[in-house]
Structure 1
Amino acid sequence: MKNLLVLIILLLSGLAGHSQFADPNAKIEDPVRWSYGSEKITDTEYDLIITATIEKGWHVYSQFIEDGGPIPTSFKFTPASTYKLKGTVSEMPKAVSAFDKNFDMQIAWHKDKVDFRQRIVLSGPTNEVKGVLEFMVCNDTKCLPPAEVEFKISVNSTSNQVSATSSGENTVSPSAADTSAASPNSVSADTPVIKRQLKPSNNEGTLWGIFLAGFIGGLAAFFMPCIYPMIPLTVSFFTKKSGSRAKGIQSAIIYGVSIILVYVALGLLITLIFGASALNEAASSATFNLLFFVALIIFGISFLGAFEITLPASLVNKMDEKSNQNGFIGLFFMAFTLALVSFSCTGPIIGTLLVDAVSKGSYLGPAVGMLGFSSALAIPFTLFAIFPSWLKEMPKSGGWLNTVKVSLGFLEIALAFKFLSNVDLAYHWNLLDRDIFLAIWIVIFGFWGLYLLGKIRLAHDNEVGFLSLPRLFFSIFILGFTIYMIPGLWGAPLKPLSAWLPPQTTQDFDMYSNNTSTAVTETPGKKYAGLFHAPHGLDAFYDYEEGLAYAKSVNKPILIDFTGWSCVNCRKMEASVWPDEGVLKKLKEDYVLISLYVDDKTELSANEKYTSAFSGKNIKTIGQKWSDFQASKFGTNSQPYYVIAGHDGKPLVTPQAFNLDINNYIDFLNSGKLAFSRK
């Protein structure tokens, strides 16, 4: 019945205002149906079950996607005194995962059917649990705007399963065909806050990455002044104390395993202290990211020689006493003593690894990171005990050890700004734009390169009489990387660094080739608040009414670009079709571009909020407004969607959706210009 009403509304709106060029394939898509239930586990514990049934060819994104990608599925349960949540929402089956080059990140999604489960613990009589879920659905050619669905799940001890169904049709959520047709009404201010989650701990790719990072960190720690000189002393101790080479090798293996146990225990302790929920929120939390930033800065300054991070001498002495015991216990405490004595060198590296593991939200991440770190430390001790003749081939200790330490300091300070950038982007502080970020990195890596050349000396450094070949090659690499980044200050894309840098749209100075601005001419005394820089140097209006008014003043047709910040196929069109010389020239010269983001979370002012005459939904955000506008006026809710319209807002030619054929897009733009000239 509800679908029939939608069809009638679309038919009436088409008869009333749609032109002959309305897209005959346009329709309101509703590919996901949601069902809800509960399953009794114990007398006080229940699993809330939320099931998505997805039409063939479509997919719903997993919860576990990092910021900067599509909108993940997420859940907000209404708090109540009668129950509390236990753990986080799980999803079965495991999401399909693949690398998406448009977002330069791993993306996971579900197709056909997926169950989301949240366990609750009852603390009083509970009949139902309420909440809101948010999801985004796409297929190979288009995406629908993010949708919020309110749900109620029955919970009672007499039935193991109570279900209700709800359609995903409230993917339609923005303004009546014209904003003037919608009368703003007062709406509830308690908009649900839906937090994103990170990748789950069973993500094998993430855990392998954390292990590899830990292993590399362990290799770096091996060459630190606190550890490297201890290798010949420790191996010699094993050989002499054991009395035979075989027993010495056995002691070295036990010692190596003990090192691994000590550091893995530290990783597990981090998880126990912070808990799974804290790890899960780390990457999206301003507090966590700012703490990480400060911690890495402190670690970096420590490596530069300003101070040393040490543990209490009494603790070190106590462990050293226990290491004199015989057998496994003595070797274990000997490994523990190594960890404590070397903390001034390894502490910052361990801290950096734990920060990285925690920020990925993986429950096993800290333990896996420490496994990689400790393995890289333990293996050399064991191998040198088995093959003591290798000790003669080791480079002698010297000033180069301090160079390694200082180099890690420069690297840690550079990495710290990535965490500050995460906070800046998430909360729209606009403090660390792309060019500012690059300027900071250029200075850091530039000083690092000069340091390696011996042009800069710190307090604990010896004068560099000559450059060794490794030092020379490292300085060439670092300075080369510094020079590579410099064009980025003026807008060069720097694609290999795109995952680390703030988005190109935050660039203040963008002089990259073919990125000439459309040069919107402002009327004296008139400022266009909705004007912003789109990809490839195009000027675009963020607001429909403002863009339409400007188009009238310059007598050009409008190109309405229904898009989204998280729309994969929108980025494909912008990256593959728009840069074409013919397309870009026409977009700049023949049209006024109006880009309307249907997933923009910016809240409308109180007097702009309204109830849609089309869908009956409360419109609270800019994204909902433009999504409602698209659905009610053009009869579709998928992106990307391109409409060429005249000054009356009616389509001049048949709108276009996702199509990577450049010639097709040029024909589309040519036909729109011709139709406008004939009016």
Structure 2
Amino acid sequence: MQKRFLLSILGLLLCIGLPAQILEPVKWKVSLQGEGQEREIVFHALIEKGWHLYATDIPSGGPIPTSFSFDELSNVSLKGEVTATQRPHEEYSSLFDMKLGWYNDKIDFKQALSLENPDDFKITGYITYQACNDVTCLPPTKYEFSFGEKKAEEAKTPDLTPIKFNRKPTTSLTEQEGWQPVVDEIRAMDGDGITHSNSLWFIFLSGFVGGLLALLTPCVWPMIPLTVSFFLKKQQSRRKAIGEAILYGLSIIVIYVGVGLLITLLFGASALNDLATNAIFNILFFALLVLFAISFFGAFEITLPASWSNKLDRKADTATGILAIFFMAFTLVLVSFSCTGPIIGTLLVEAASWGGKLAPAVGMGGFAIALAIPFALFAMFPSLMKQLPKSGGWLNMVKVVLGFLELALSLKFLSVADLAYGWHILDRETFLVLWIIIFALLGFYLLGKISFAHDSPVKHVSVPRLFLAIASLSFSVYMIPGLWGAPLKAISAFAPPLYTQDFNLYDQEVHAAFHDYNRGLAYARKHNKPVLIDFSGYGCVNCRKMEATVWTDPIVKKMLEEKYVLITLMVDDKEKLRTPITVEENGKSIKLTTVGEKWSFLQRYKFGANAQPYYVIINGEGEPLVAPYGYNESIPRFIRFLHKGLKEFNK
């Protein structure tokens, strides 16, 4: 297993530098054979190694079967059905939970026909098919063919390029049915579930907790006496000292929030969201966190050049007034970076994946406030420092614990890239096994059973260490049932979704009926049902929380599966569109090249939003029925949202 995993990682890294290309694993050659009135059409499929083409009789609920359609038959009559020249290979598919038939290498299909007038006839039609391998499936594809006296030359050398299903739309993307903007209608509605502000509060609290953790690191803790020493040198009135201490805390906050705002201004909310699911970025961030974890374990020290902090320290000593305080705050930020860097980086990436413009700044604000309050207090009241524990072995313990946490968190970023690009190297069971081992080792470390080079000898286990060890080991045991499909709601935001797990005994998950907006909308019109659009993302933490805690409720599950047409649109899906789409947005012409970009544009253009999760109830014409719903784990509120949508639809 380990060798297979390492080979997968190596293959993945080798493929990163390869240019993107449209896969065409099935090549078709269609020919009209025979003479006189009795003829036959031979459909010859050449299939690349490792891929397969599904048979014509796939059961309902499975993949797209190979089918043959005839649009125009002039002076031609078909004799029987299209038949294959050999039996398909049959095998049970765990992906679709059924026995399926498919063809490998090559296959011929034949259609017998009779020509009423061999000198004047016309045949046009198309083949619909889907190609899959052991890792992924391509979207349904359509291959057109035509024969006739005027088409004789074309029949000899048919175009072998597959074309996208419904390739020839009569209108542009934004003029298609159901794509018209409804932003004004949504703003006029009273919402019960939009909780973007709650999302920002969650990001703020996450940043605040990150700031408290950073305070305990060996890079930040020793800065407290330096801060006190700096303010004691000034020898000024108590009132002025308190004012400057507050100014010092505000300077720390301004620096960190400024970094968050600068990142948002440089990249923009949408670009940050794209970056958060970019394969290369996530792999680099995964590698960076692993590097920091190894450093925290004591293998080596990551420090910034001493000249940087020394120059700032001298500036703080020589400058006066507000400038000196600002330089002191900047010195703290710079010196502590080697410990706060991974915490800040993780916070920014997670905030970016929420899609809000203010999210990075809000997260940095929470981090900075948690970090600034203690420093400001010690600057105001230096006597408080006497009550603090001295630096020692406990600080190294904190550093090692952070190393384990960084190692566990790094897998989240590798998982995001794995899901967005469909590599399947870190499916749910693999992810859980690694987390179980990491947190079990953390528990043994806290009990003193494992030690690193810079650790002090553990003569006895303190009460805090014992309780932390119990929590860590209990968490490892809690995750074990997940290997058999237990939902593990506590970590649903971090672990890959259940559908990536091969062996799964849990059957309460809700799966969307459609992942294509146009197809889902057409189905809803045909069956006269309301539509629930789920704008989601592979890197969306709160989307997984909603699916694990709200959608699995029996009432919610039944309503989603029976009363609604559920369409899930992944805005970070990296699958390439077969033909790029050019659209106008905010007076600019932009090109959509991936499926995720298309759905992200739909969310922005039609609904005026770009945060996930984002749930919209519409009718078959694409008109909103109730105000959209955002992240809110209240099951009664979500049920009320669904009932309200049904009530409006039935009107």
Q: TM-score, normalization: structure 2?
A: 0.50
Q: TM-score, normalization: structure 1?
A: 0.48
